Amino acid sequence: MKNKVAILYICTGNYVIFWENFYKSFSRHFLPGYQKKYFVFTESNDASLQTANDVRVIYQKKLGWPYDTLYRFRMFYSIDEQLKDFDYIFFFNANMICLQDIDDRILPNEQERLVVVKHPGFFDKDRSLFTYETNPQSLAYIPDDKGEYYFMGGFNGGIGKYYRELIKTLKENIDYDLQTNKLIAIWHDESHLNRYMLDRSPKILSPAYGYPEGVELPFEQKIIILDKNRFGGHNAMRGIEKNRPFIGKIKKILHFFKI
């Protein structure tokens, strides 16, 4: 029997333009042969979301910056019952494209339990340059003498039951920081993810699995992160500015990558 894999994906607001080609590339290349189900959090009625039986759309209104990212684990926790039947669960940022086959060698064993990716901006940097949360009042706080790696927030996952524990814990920690401590960690959910991994030994993937478009790194490109500046910039994507991106740009980039 094929292992069941849940893929969590958020595309509220302008980010829906990335969905069609994310789905196309990951369906083809990510864990080929596995039974995959996509859980898409969006308020969009875009036709591309209604074309496949392996896609389940969960209504999610746009919350505005930074809550669209800060509350991602709250979104995931809202479908906890639906995730119980999956052997593995993964989250990916909206603007990612899978460029080549990624097989089950990325899956964690029972000792590792979870999967994280070294941040492409910090994989070769000294610990002193890591942008961990430094406020001791935050549940994401990491002391100066702790931490060996800095992980990106845009790709993580693991064995189903353990990733569901991560979702619940990070949702609760983020809520506590905001409601009780009246603060938001420096890099939102990513800060809390790094703190969570401090006490664990996950499978660690290289920046090849989170390779920024237009950057030269000493890794093979396996999963690329599209440059948001090519689609109006971060503020436009977040809805802070009115400069909307165009789907035609996505299609041109897909053609370039031959997906």
Question: Could you read off the pLDDT of 36-52 as tens digits, one per residue?
Answer: 999 999 999 887 787 78
Question: Would you list the domain boundaries of the chain?
Answer: 4-257
Please state the CATH superfamily assignment of the domain spanning residues 4-257 in this structure.
Answer: Spore Coat Polysaccharide Biosynthesis Protein SpsA; Chain A (3.90.550.10)
Sign of the four-CA dihedral 239, 139, 165, 87: positive
Question: Could you read off the pLDDT of 171-185 as tens digits, one per residue?
Answer: 999 999 999 999 999
| Residue given tokens 């094929």 in the structure block | 2
Residue 250: is its pLDDT beyond 70?
A: no
Cα–Cα distance measured from residue 187 to residue 153, given in angstroms and rounded to the nearest whole number: 9
Instruction: Give burial (CB, 10 Å; 0-12/13-18/19+) of 195.
Output: buried
Mean pLDDT computed over every residue of the chain: 90
Task: Please state the rounded mean pLDDT for residues 175-199.
Answer: 96
Residue 155: is its pLDDT beyond 90?
A: yes
pLDDT the model gives residue 233: 47
pLDDT the model gives residue 240: 46
Cα–Cα distance measured from residue 168 to residue 159, given in angstroms and rounded to the nearest whole number: 14
Cα–Cα distance measured from residue 257 to residue 164, given in angstroms and rounded to the nearest whole number: 33
Task: Please state the rounded mean pLDDT for residues 59-85.
Answer: 95
Q: Which residues make beta-bridge pairs with 102?
A: 30
Q: Tell me the catalytic residues.
A: 190
